[in-house]
Structure 1
Amino acid sequence: MNLKAKKSKLHCEKHQEELKLFCKTDKKLICLICATGQQHRSHSLMLIEEAIEFYKEQVKSSFESLTEKESEIQKIEQEQKESISGVQEESHNLQSQITSQFAELHQILTDKEQRLLGDVREEEEKIIKSMEKNLQGIQENLKSIQEELSKLQDQTDHKNGLIFLKTYS
């Protein structure tokens, strides 16, 4: 055996023997002397090469299982992202629809407001025209009464009673 091969082998710290066995119970490498000792006598033991193959198979199996789970989770993740996008798109469409409908309602209300304001102004003009006509008649009547009062005042202001009686009759 050459020097490099000997150095690459692992040795028991307790017995300085080459580690050739693996204790499955304690999950550690042991030498032949340790295997026959009290501490490992009832434990499940196997050759290092067998243990390496056994645990490589377990790791490979775990790796394959995790790879499969990873693939499933990535699929679920993609589905969730698509669901999120779908909800966002629906929400944006609904918001656009609401905005559009309210814009229509605002226009309808604005049109109705303008019609009602126009109707009120029109009615106001009719009423005011009628009232101004009445006011003109009242003012003419008042003017006529004031002219009559002025005449009567002039008559009563005459000092001469005969002239007063003459104009009065």
Structure 2
Amino acid sequence: MAKAGEKSERATSLENELSCPVCLDLYKDPVMLSCGHNFCKQCIQKVLDSQQQFPASCPMCKIQLGPDFELQKNFQLCSIVETFLATNSKGQHEDGSEDGKAVVLCDFCLEKSQPAVKTCLMCDAYLCQAHLSKHSATASQQDHVLVEVGTGSVAEERRCQEHGKLLECYCRDEKLYICLLCCIAGQHKGHDIITLKEAYDEQLGELLDMETWLQGRENALNTALEGLQKSEQQLKTNTKTVSSQMEKLFEQLKTEIIQEKIRILCDIESSEKEELTRISKVKEEMKKRRDEAVEHLQSLQKMREQPDVFHFFKEFKLIKDRIYSQDFSIRTMDVAVVQMDEAWIACYQHSRENFMEEMGALLSLVQRE
């Protein structure tokens, strides 16, 4: 009894570990978030849809999941839950039923009925594994439609809602699956009716045609993309080459402009030096004449004080001879003034604009080529 109690406790503990923290039931289609917590897919989807914040967050640890998160199915946990359900103490009872749901029994077993594993929609019967093998081995029954037991909605989809019969035909006029009664006495009487096999062959042919068309589209698109890729690469290469060439041209132009600027400034400076030298010489000559004039003027002023008439005439004659023998004329100079008048500036502006227009036209030609 103690061992049975310990086993029950372990099973309960394992069941708790395998339970969804939202619905508190065993995981159904378990998914794992990026943070590592697991939930039933339907449970976590409802929780995330109800959250007002964005991006969504894990209800257990509150870690944000990011804008592009995906619900990744936890295949390992799903396998563990299935194994637990198959081996726990809540499994099948001897009467063939399971906790929470009844087991569907085979319709062909005579003595001890075995659980059914498939449902034949043509025979409207449940088959265990043994009778399923016999059923499938019969040539006339190999085309029968078999579905899993318990898939009631799938089985209902295969039956006519009006007559309850199996859908075995296809109406081309209304593009609907119908039963035989719909063809004979129903609303599809007189329509273009074919079997499901014929409809399948037609649809398969259309599918193959569509695959061929899409394959051609894929090849054409791949070719177009390759062409665009080559054009893109060619454009980048050409742009890089032209940019490099233009860079060299502008650098050359810049160098020539700088050299021309240096030459012009040197010529202006040289002209200035020449003119300054000329002015300096004239200034020195004018200073010398001025000093001599001042000296003679002082001599004349001093002679006013000479009381001796004889000496006065003698000295005055000497001074006059010196004064008349010297050049006291004033020299003027026409200095060459370098200046930029409005006409010169306007001419420069016009030349610059013409140059820029020609450069723009040249660039347009390069781009069109």
Classify the TM-score, shorter chain: 0.7 to 0.9
Q: What 5-or-longer segments of structure 1 have no aligned partner?
A: none
RMSD value over aligned CA atoms? 2.4
Pair 1:110 & 2:258 matched:
yes
Normalization by structure 1: what TM-score?
Answer: 0.87
Q: Cα offset for 1:36?
A: 2.1
Q: Give the match for residue 83 of structure 1.
A: 231
| Structure 2: unaligned runs, 5 residues or longer | 1-106, 109-117, 125-146, 148-154, 318-369
Q: In structure 2, do the counterparts of structure 1 residues 165 and 33 end up closer, same or farther at CA, with 3 Å as the change threshold? A: same
Instruction: Work out the CA distance in 1 between the residues paired with 2:209 and 2:242.
Output: 49
* Structure 1 segments (4+ residues) deviating >4 Å: 159-167
Give the corresponding residue for 2:4: none
Structure 1 contact 155–164 (Cα < 8 Å) conserved: no
Q: Say how many residue pairs are matched.
A: 168
User: Aligned-pair distance for 1:155?
Assistant: 2.8
Correspondence for 1:12:
160
Contact kept? 2:183, 2:190, Cα under 8 Å: no
CA distance in 2, matches of 1:160, 1:132: 43
Normalised by the length of structure 2, the TM-score is 0.42
Higher helix share: 1
Alpha-carbon distance in structure 2 between the residues aligned to 1:164 and 1:29: 159
Q: Could you tell me which residue of structure 1 aligns to residue 188 of structure 2? A: 40
Change (3 A) 1:161 1:34: farther
Counterpart of 1:124 (choices 247, 253, 272) is 272
Q: 1:121, 1:163 → 2: CA distance? A: 60
Deviation at 1:164, TM superposition (A): 8.7
Q: CA offsets per residue over residues 107-152 of structure 1, 9 Å max, x none?
A: 1121222222222222222221121111100100011111111222
* Secondary structure class of the residue paired with 1:13: coil
1:123 corresponds to which letter in structure 2?
A: S
> Which amino acid counterpart does residue 257 of structure 2 have in structure 1?
L
Is 1:100 matched with 2:215? Answer: no
Does structure 1 conserve the Cα–Cα contact (< 8 Å) formed by 2:306 and 2:312? no
**Correspondence list, 1:152-163, <5 A:** 152-156=300-304, 158=305, 160=307, 162=309
Question: What displacement does 1:161 show?
Answer: 8.1
- Contact 1:21-1:32 within 8 A present in 2 as well: yes
